[in-house]
Chains A and B, each alone.
Chain A
Amino acid sequence: MRMSKTLSKVKLPYLLLLPGFLFLFTFFILPILNLAQTSTQTPIAGGDTGEYEQTLRFANYIDAFIENREQFARSFIFAICATLLALAIAYPLAYAIAFKAGRFKNILLVLIIAPFFTSFLLRTVAWKQILGEEGFVVPPLRTFGIISESTTLTSTSFAVVLGMTYNFLPFMTLPLYASLERIDPRTMEASGDLYANGITTFRRVTLPLSMPGVVAGTLLTFIPAAGDYVNAAILGNPNSKMLGNVIESRFFKIVDYPTAAALSFTLMAAILILVTLYIRKAGTEELV
């Protein structure tokens, strides 16, 4: 009796891990391995379009990168812009909800999540209307002479960044809120008591204590934004294409699987390196 009890106790963690492991193995590990072996294939001589054979041609990576380096750079620039913009909007918002909202706290949190009740695609398409010639953004801007008569906002890089900012805003706001909400308001009072004015208190106490939220929020925004293609496809133009758009067209339109796979891996690696450097720099592991 006793033996079997101890045994099942030892086995239990593995049993609990099993469903998740099986799922991830089937739908993540296997596809990734498949993608990896696709990335070094070359077209079969004399074969049809879309027929490739494994030749371990690692130069695929170099070719793909050089050919698409412009979209590569754009992906990261757009993602960084959207992340910074989202941070600038979300931080005051999260701060207000955490410290100033009182009994409206829960309502405001629901409103942050509310956009998820409609589809991501629909919301992005709606931005076409909002930024369109007949929308309520362009006419006033023209009236006040902020943009010229010939300038449009749709099909621009600006619209793509704006769309991404909007779509990923909740992913920025919620971790920031969670992190700010955990701060004991008395530490801010203590800071004021110890001769720090409002700005210094923010710089020395509130901001450092909310860094876990800043890091989590920027990662949750930056990572999907860097790989995004929907915003660029709907709100952009041929000159604002991101790497996601290239991968999509290589896979589904040109049927150039090896290049698409190589680009996917390069993008993943680049994001991984950037994120690692960022976390190192932000030094969140030192925070409580």
Chain B
Amino acid sequence: MVDVSSATRGDLRLTRITKSYGDFTAVDDLSLTIPEGSFFALLGPSGCGKTTTLRMIAGLEEPTVGSIHLGTTDITTKRPYQRPINTVFQNYALFPHLTIFENIAFGLRRRGIKSVDADVNKVLDLVELPHLAQRKPTQLSGGQQQRIALARAIVNRPALLLLDEPLGALDLKLRRQMQIELKWIQREVGLTFVHVTHDQEEAMTMADTIAVMNEGGIEQMGSPADLYDNPKTAFVANFLGQSNLIKGRIEGTAGDNLVVDLYGQKISMPKSRSHAVDSSIYAGIRPEKFRISLVGTPTRGNVLSGGHIEEVSYIGVSTQYQVAMPWGQELMVFEQNDDGVPPFDKGDQVVISWEPNFTFALRGDEDVEAGTEVAPDDLDEDE
């Protein structure tokens, strides 16, 4: 029998977890605390160790080194069926020989609960599929199976609900809809959700806290806004959205600001947004933070001049410009199309400007390509 009482509830703590398969280290010395009641996302590309981490929390894999605590209970070596943790599997893994009702009742029955009807019907209502109770899983669409997999897990009211790429098999429209629904259900039932995904948009839409994983470790952890606005590494800057990273030097300070030289042009940025260790840095600015203006028109904030428009792509909601700078780099600029036709043409001589507060600084020895070469839409998970 599984103890789902308050003693086994609380924060989930992973302490110095390492998981190796022979020579390959999937998860490397990872420590992590997931607060009770939060919607937590593990985000990273294929092979970053996020699924392995999830499987260790579920009990499907045992860590080579380290410990896992739920509240005050050490669950490191507990079998999956001994943990008050349930999983929504990537391909749902519904039981094909059982009806939807029996699929959902499975966990309750194994815990020796006799009257399951009320609980099962309640979650069927929650996922809005009460009319499918007597169907078999193969008679359901992908989106319906996804909801049943969720219902089968949350009916047990686990201390922790694990979601392994739960929306990966759905089409884009359904995925968007389910993202909102999942978030709503999490608030409704008040359980801790741990969501594994390679889709940064999905993680940012749903999670309170995101841990970005890369090569078996956590690259950076924080709220979606923190991670996006102030990434600490090039990997995070590139994996979550797009970034312009410009090589530069810190020349000095002026109050709370740093004065930075970018290829001979001076800009300023807040000290608190620098993650550099010495004067050599990469200055980072998100493409939508840039403004473009024709040479000779007034500008404010930081200014980089000498550029010309190299490429114009009309996206609908915005227009993307590639601006060639004198030092040979092309900067990406997104302009909202809130005032009609795109005002700039290929070849226009322009200056780029932005608010100093939007600048972040990375260490000068970072690999600026990190996090860009992995295709975030790569669906196969061969971890």
Chain A interface residues toward B at CB < 8 A: 184, 186-187, 189-197, 200, 204-205, 208-209, 286-288
Contact = CB atoms under 8 A, between A and B. Distances in A.
B91 A189 contact: no
Given A195-B81, A200-B110, A184 B91 contact: yes
27 contacts: A186-B89, A187-B94, A187-B95, A187-B96, A189-B80, A189-B89, A189-B93, A190-B94, A192-B60, A192-B79, A192-B81, A193-B58, A193-B60, A193-B80, A194-B81, A194-B86, A194-B106, A194-B107, A194-B110, A194-B152, A195-B156, A197-B81, A204-B106, A205-B95, A208-B97, A286-B97, A288-B136
Contacts of A194: 81, 86, 106-107, 110, 152, 156
A259 B213 CA distance: 79
Nearest to B136: A288
A205 B137 CA distance: 14
B89 A195 contact: no
Contacts of B94: 187, 190
Contacts of A204: 106
A200 B2 CA distance: 14
Nearest to B58: A193
B87 interface: yes
B111 interface: yes
Contacts of B96: 187, 209, 288
A288 B138 CA distance: 8
B238 to A, nearest CB: 32
Interface in B99-150: 106-107, 110-111, 136, 138
A208 B95 CA distance: 10
B81 A193 contact: yes
Contact of B2 (A186, A187, A195): A195
Contact of A195 (B58, B60, B91, B107): B107
Contacts of B106: 191, 194, 196, 204
A212 to B, nearest CB: 10
Interface residue range, chain B? 20 to 34
A204 to B, nearest CB: 8
Contacts of B95: 187, 190-191, 205, 209
A205 B103 CA distance: 11
Contacts of A288: 96-97, 136, 138
Contacts of B91: 184, 186
- Report the 6 A-B pairs with minimum CB-CB distance, sorted nearest first: A194-B107, A186-B93, A195-B110, A190-B93, A192-B80, A195-B81
Contacts of A192: 59-60, 79-81
A286 B106 CA distance: 19
Interface in B252-300: none
Residue from A189, A191, A195, A209 whose CB has the most chain B CB atoms within 10 Å: A195
Contacts of A197: 79, 81
Which of A186, A191, A193, A208 has the largest number of chain B CB atoms within 10 A?
A193
Interface in B14-64: 58-60
Contacts of A196: 81, 106, 110
Which of A187, A205, A208 neighbours the largest number of chain B CB atoms within 10 Å of its CB? A187
B148 to A, nearest CB: 12
Nearest to A189: B60
Contacts of B152: 194
B154 to A, nearest CB: 12
A198 to B, nearest CB: 9
Nearest to A184: B93
B242 to A, nearest CB: 35
A190 B110 contact: no
Nearest to B162: A193
A197 B81 CA distance: 6
A10 B21 CA distance: 59
B79 A187 contact: no
Nearest to B155: A194
Contacts of A200: 110
Contacts of A186: 89-91, 93
Given A194-B106, A204-B106, A288-B138, 7 more contacts: A184-B91, A187-B93, A187-B94, A190-B94, A193-B86, A195-B110, A288-B96
A194 B111 CA distance: 9
A162 B375 CA distance: 59
A22 to B, nearest CB: 39
A208 B107 CA distance: 17
Nearest to A200: B110
A205 B109 CA distance: 14
Nearest to A211: B97
Interface string B75-90: 0000111000111011
A107 to B, nearest CB: 23
A196 B81 CA distance: 6
A210 to B, nearest CB: 10
